[in-house]
Amino acid sequence: MAPTSTPQTPFGRVLTAMVTPFTADGALDLDGAQRLATHLVDAGNDGLIINGTTGESPTTSDAEKSDLVRAVLEAVGDRAHVVAGVGTNDTHHSIELAREAERVGAHGLLVVTPYYNKPPQEGLYRHFTAVADTTGLPVMLYDIPGRSGVPINTETLVRLAEHPRIVANKDAKGDLGRASWAIARSGLAWYSGDDMLNLPLLSVGAVGFVSVVGHVVTPDLRALVDAFVSGDVQKATEIHQKLLPVYTGMFRTQGVMTTKAALALQGLPAGPLRAPMVECAPEEIEQLKIDLAAGGVQL
């Protein structure tokens, strides 16, 4: 396990939700995944989320997910937290994925809110606790109502925080008021899941980030959180403002599309996307170049 784990920062402070590299014919590129994971950890990430949304998890098989976690662990598991995304909208399937992630050696689990079937809060509570009961691994919840259709209400987060292995939440609600209350009442380690709100969420008690733009600006994110934690809010604000074009540019369309385009521009492993995702159009790539350059990213 990486040495940066504390009760306050169980997965460190800066994590990137890593894309899944594919070969030109669409197969899993395990060598590319190892090279990309090494690059991201060398850049300053405390951990990597594997098989998350940005990892195109809806279109990878269970076997591919397992192989990917194993490969990334082999590459960086002695230096960084390798957190496996295991959430689905089927509790039984999520339990199976959690058991397999533990079997291959993952350091933690990311469990997204069940999507599409829109369970009530009691259903969410039972789902998350069932997955957390399955393994001995620490769990990070993933609250993203824009994709799942259902938020994890503050009262539910408080209940879930009583579970000994539910230790963190990745917050992609985009609601600082609700985040403030949930952080204060739950005691969960709070990670920003919305890059534009990285600094604002730190200001209300978040401990770090699960980032998409970390693929291209991890050193800046590290500097931002380090400055904030040390009390240099002015410097943190300056870095936040410098990164605004990057935050905006990487989410003009789906983040995985722009991330893979940005990685390709830098000569890093990425490869094509799996349907129904598509590659960025030429004009989107040109705009992305402008946005990244405005934020100081060298291409």
Which residue numbers are catalytic? Answer: 142, 170
Strand partners, 189: 168
Let me know: does 11 contact 83? Beta carbons within 8 Å: yes
Q: Based on C-alpha coordinates, what's the Rg of the chain? A: 18
How far, in Å, CA of 190 to CA of 224, rounded? 16
How far, in Å, CA of 139 to CA of 245, rounded? 32
Could you count the other beta carbons within 10 Å of the beta carbon of residue 33?
A: 27
Let me know: does 225 contact 208? Beta carbons within 8 Å: yes
Could you count the other beta carbons within 10 Å of the beta carbon of residue 271?
A: 21
- Host H or E run for residue 15: strand 14-17
Could you count the other beta carbons within 10 Å of the beta carbon of residue 188?
A: 22
Signed CA dihedral, 245, 229, 47, 76: sign only: positive
Which tokens is 123 given? 């259903």
Backbone φ, ψ for residue 192 (5° rounding): -70, 125
Q: DSSP character for 22?
A: B
Strand partners, 81: 47
Let me know: does 266 contact 275? Beta carbons within 8 Å: no
